Amino acid sequence: MHAPNLARIAASASRRAPSPAAAAALATALTAALGPGRVSTSESARRAASTDYSHMSPLLPGVLPQRTADIVVRPRDNSELTEAMRLAHAHETPIVARGRGTGNYGQAVPLAAGLVLDLTALDAITETGTGWMHAQAGATFVALEAAARQTGQEILMMPTTIGSTIGGFLAGGAGGIGSIEHGWLWNGFVIALDVVACPPGTAPLALRGQQCLPYLHAYGVTGVIAAATIKLAPARERKAILASFPAEAGDAAVQAGLSLMRQDPPPRLVSIDEPGIVATYPADGAMPPGRHSLRAIVDASTLDTVLAVITGHGGWVESTPEDAESYLSTLAFNHVTLRARKARPELCHLQVGGPALVTHAAQIRDALPGALLHLDGGPGGQFAGLLLSEFRDADTLYKGITRLEELGVHVVDPHTWLLGGPALDGIRATAAVNDAHGLLNPGRFPA
């Protein structure tokens, strides 16, 4: 596998940037239509809307163009969102929609400057029923979960950055807490979407079921998600567990984790780290140095069985703290990369998955220098996770990816902002219909 030519793609996208005069004309039109309180051209607002966490990659900072948005608009309702997009289209100005969260690979950084839509003010939770909730794109998972709990329900799945907005997660996320039982983003999490195309129609597109798929993890190139209806499940009581295993018992920790994922009902989270990753975390008596760490959020009804599984595999239950779900979520998925690189900035990460993580763990670690493996439970009782390794150069990294794929590892490259995967053709086709002029987040499609 070779590194994509991101610099060339970025340069091509940058050519779509509006001239200063065109950007000024659009800013004037937006201010007249929406009022000065909804439109900002201040440098601080434009810079904040043009950066993300792509600094976690050693490759992206060198190729991401230094393009800052020309204008930031913060619509309060669908009519303002539609009007902002209509004016941007009329002025042939690129549009990037953003929520709140931790974009990690430049997927919402404006490669062609233009207009950034900050959707965080569209935050109403409009209706909740049995098994579902309808909310605007800017509603955060903290608010969504709190509202669901008031009705005796809970969200099926949420990202580890629980302050993320639902629109941003649907457009850029994939899975998280709850994925063991409920799958990834594409596995029925979304019931319906309201989407604004470019140019906008008189009302958002009303999409249901399979129609929603080209808008999930599509970075906004197929349309701007204005609202979503997501599934809910009956709320459960859960317990947090932190356990450890001896340094030589990594396989036992993995087998214990696999057994936990087979419990009924399944855990909401299972994460495993080897000692080298534990050493990058802040000191915690429940994660002793030199030992593997297993952490889980389990259904309270299974607690006794879960404790027996851990001890039966040679582990030690270090702690069962109260109200620790939020803490454990910050030790899972890509939060691990953020923590590890604070302690060891030379590390880079790959997102990995598949049964080979268990069956070929030793060979996987040999694929890249100094590799360390973090595991998170996923759908079907299989692990996904992160492979952290010392970054030497792009050639070494991509040769390592080739070797991992030879071993049967599914690798998602987090060092590119390009769309990919099996849904790519459907995303391209939908974008061609909904955005014929290519103004929605340009520069995201591979050549």
| Model confidence at 306: pLDDT above 80 | yes
State whether 30 and 136 are in the same domain. Answer: no
Q: Of the residues 185, 219, 235, which one is the last residue of a structural domain?
A: 235
Q: For residue 334, is it within any domain?
A: yes
Does 242 lie in the same domain as 188? no
Q: What is the mean pLDDT of residues 424-434?
A: 97
Is 431 part of a structural domain of the chain? no
Written as six digits, the tokens of 391 are: 């970054």
Average pLDDT over residues 208-224: 97
Region 182-201 average pLDDT: 96
One domain, residues 277 and 349: yes
Tens digit of pLDDT for each residue in 342-396? 999 999 999 999 999 999 999 999 999 999 999 999 999 999 999 999 999 999 9
CA dist 216 and 225 (Å) reads: 9
pTM (predicted TM-score)? 0.94
Question: What tens digit of pLDDT does each residue of 61-113 get?
Answer: 888 877 899 999 999 999 999 999 999 999 999 999 998 866 778 888 999 99
The pLDDT confidence band at residue 429, using thresholds 50, 70 and 90, is very high
Same domain, 94 and 129: no
Find the domain containing 99 and state its range: 6-119
pLDDT band at 1, cuts 50/70/90?
Answer: low
Quickly state the pLDDT bin for 188 (edges 50, 70, 90).
Answer: very high
Q: What is the DSSP string of 72-136?
A: EE--SSHHHHHHHHHHHHHTT--EEEE-SS---SSTTS-TT-SEEEEGGG---EEEEETTEEEEE
Cβ proximity of 353 and 378 under 8 Å: yes
Q: Mean pLDDT over residues 248-274, rounded? A: 97
| Residue 195 and residue 289 in one domain | no
Same domain, 17 and 31: yes
Q: In this structure, are 248 and 225 located in the same domain?
A: no
Does residue 428 belong to any structural domain of this protein? no
| Angle (CA) 141 144 146, round 5° | 105
78, 101, 119 — which closes off a domain? 119
- Does 98 share its domain with 66? yes
Q: Following CA atoms 340, 344, 345, 350 in sequence, which dihedral angle do they give, to the nearest 10 degrees?
A: -50
Task: For residue 12, give the CATH number of its domain.
Answer: 3.30.43.10
Pairwise CA distance, residues 49 & 36, whole Å: 18
Task: Look at 179 and 104; give whichever has higher pLDDT.
Answer: 179
pLDDT at 16 over 90: no
Q: Is the pLDDT of residue 6 over 90?
A: no
Answer yes or no: do 154 and 231 share one domain. yes
* 121, two tokens: 């003010």
**Are 201 and 294 within one domain?**
no
> Would you say residue 140 has pLDDT above 90?
yes
250 and 151 in a single domain? The answer is no
CATH code for position 349:
3.40.462.40
The pLDDT confidence band at residue 302, using thresholds 50, 70 and 90, is very high
Q: Which residue has the higher pLDDT, 103 or 430?
A: 430
Q: Per the structure block, which two tokens stand in for 412?
A: 């998602």
Angstrom distance (rounded) from CA 273 to CA 388: 11
What percent of the chain clears pLDDT 70, i.e. is strictly above it? 99
Pair (151, 217) in one structural domain: yes
Q: What is the CATH number of the domain that holds 214?
A: 3.30.465.10
Residue 4 has pLDDT above 80, yes or no: no
Whether residue 437 lies inside any domain: the answer is no
Q: What is the pLDDT of residue 27?
A: 97
Mean predicted lDDT score pLDDT of the chain: 94
pLDDT at 442 over 70: yes
Report the domain count for the chain: 3
Mean pLDDT of 175-204: 95
Q: How far apart are CA 115 and CA 69, in angstroms?
A: 6
Residue 3: band (very low, low, confident or very high) from pLDDT cuts 50, 70, 90:
low
Q: How far is CA 56 from the centre of its chain?
A: 14
CA atoms of 288 and 332, how far apart (whole Å): 17
